[in-house]
Amino acid sequence: MTSLHDRIRDDLNQAMKDRDMKRVKVLRTTLSAIQNAEAVEGVASVEGIVGYGDVARRSLSDEDVSGIISLEIEEFEGYVAEYRRIGQTEKAEDFHQDLEILRGYLVES
């Protein structure tokens, strides 16, 4: 069975092929948040410069990834509310569409 993280990565590749830039943006942001959560804190290389491949990584469960997606959703909900409050409905709708993309991963899990 494919993990949620793998499914998001596969969907990003497909969105890039489809040139669905909205989906690409949302999935890249989400994968970035997942990769940040996977990084082990306090690890540094000998030279003091750490590259992606040099850092020990945690293995996240689907539940962990769902939690990260939930946090992203909460953040986007805040953006929607704030943009609506200040009358920028177009920007609010843009973030609402981002929310719907992310919510699809929680429903499908």
Does residue 81 or residue 56 have the better pLDDT?
Answer: 81
Q: Hey, what domains does the chain have and what are their CATH numbers?
A: 4-108 (1.10.1510.10)
Q: How many CB atoms lie within 10 A of CB 26?
A: 25
* Chain segment 61-88, per-residue pLDDT in tens: 999 999 999 999 999 999 999 999 999 9
Q: Which pTM value belongs to this model?
A: 0.80
What percentage of the chain's residues is helix, strand, coil (to nearest 5)?
A: 75, 0, 25
Distance CA 64, CA 70 (A): 10
pLDDT of 109 > 50? The answer is no
